[in-house]
Amino acid sequence: MQRQTLYAITTEAAEAPGLCAPRNVPVGSKVCRVSGLLSGAPTRTSLQIGASLHIDSGTAEWRFIEHSCAPNLEMDFTDWSFWARRDIAAHERLTFNYLTTEARMAAPFTCRCGCSECFDTIAGFSTLAPSLKRRLSDHVAPHLRDAEIHRPGGCIFGVAARA
C-alpha cells in the first residue's frame, strides 16, 4: 500500500516555514501523528503530552505546524495525532492551537493570527484567565484538564475539585 503525504513544507517569502496541505483534506481526516524524543521539559519544538512529559519533534515535519487561535487541526488525545477539524483547502497552511496542549510555553509569543477570538499572548494554558480557559474546555489535553480540576479554586470545567 502506498502512503500518501498529507502535507508539504513551504517557505513562502517573508514567512516562517510552515506545513501546507498539498491537496484538499476533508474534515475528520488524520493528518499526522506526533513522534519524537521524550523530554521532561518543554522546548521550542516540543508538544506536551503529560503533566511533566513532552515530546520533541526533532526533525519531524510536524514541528512546522503553526499556532492559530482558530486552527484547522486539533489533537486526538487517544493516539496523539492531528486531525482536520474542518475541511482544509489545498495549499492552506496547517495550524494548531498550542494552548490546548502546553501548560507553559518554552518560548511565549504574541499571536498575530488575526482571528476575532485571538488569545493574544501565547504563553501556555496555565497562564490564561478563567474565561479563556473555559473557551478551550472541550479541546484541551487530559493533563491540562486534570491540572485545572485539581488546582485549588480551579473547577472551571464544571467538575468539582477533590477536597
Site of interaction with Zn ion (CB under 5 A): 69, 111, 113, 118
Contact indicator for 133, 153 with CB cutoff of 8 Å: no
CA gap 117, 157 in Å, rounded: 20
- Sign of the CA dihedral with 105 first, then 133, 135, and 142 last: positive
Cβ nearer to Zn ion, comparing 104 with 151 = 104
Residue 94 CB, shortest distance to Zn ion, in Å, is 15
In the 8-state DSSP scheme, what is residue 103? S
- In angstroms, what is the minimal distance from the CB of 119 to Zn ion? 5
Selection from 85, 80, 82 nearest residue 26 by Cα: 85
75 or 99: whose CB is closer to Zn ion? 99
**Which is closer to Zn ion, CB of 89 or CB of 109?**
109
CB of 151 to Zn ion, least distance (A): 24
Place of cell 495549499: 91
- The least CB distance from residue 97 to Zn ion, in Å, is 8
Question: Quick one: DSSP state of residue 44?
Answer: T
* Closest to Zn ion by CB, 106 or 132: 132
If one counts every other C-beta atom within 10 angstroms of the C-beta of residue 57, the result is 19
Q: State in angstroms the smallest separation of the CB of 111 from Zn ion.
A: 3
Nearer to Zn ion, 1 or 129 (CB): 129
Query: Grid coordinates in use for 137?
Result: 474546555
Contact between residue 64 and residue 116 where contact means Cβ atoms under 8 Å apart: no
